[in-house]
Structure 1
Amino acid sequence: MFESLKNDYQVCDEIGRGRFGAVFRCTSTASGHSFACKSIDKRHLSDPVDRQCLDREPKILHLLAGHPNILRLQAVFDDPNFLHIVTDLCDSDDLYARLTAARSFSEPAAFALFQPLISALAHCHRVGVAHRDIKPDNILFDSAGKLKLADFGSAEWFFCAGERRPMRGIVGTPYYVAPEVLAGRDYSEKVDVWSAGVILYILLAGVPPFYGETPVETFEAVMRGNLRFPTKIFRSVSPEAKDLLRKMICKDVSRRLSAEQVLRHPWMINGGETGSTADLT
Structure 2
Amino acid sequence: MAQDIGYQDPYYFSRIFKKKTGITPSAYMKSRQRKMAAYGHSILGQLTPIHIIPYAAPLHPKWTAHDFEHYAEEIPIHLSAHRINEHAEANIQQLMEAQPELIIANDHVTEAEKQALKTICPVHFVPFTQLDWRTQFRQTALFLNETREAEEWLFHYEELVIQAKKACLVDHPPRTVLPLRIFQDQLYLSVNRTLSEVIFHDIGLLPAFQNDGQLIEKKISIHSIQQLDPDAIFLLLHKEPKTIAFYQKLKQQEAWQNLKAVTQQAVYPLASDPWREYTAASHQRVIQDLLSFFP
Q: TM-score, normalised by structure 1?
A: 0.23
Larger helix percent: 2
* TM-score using structure 2 length: 0.22
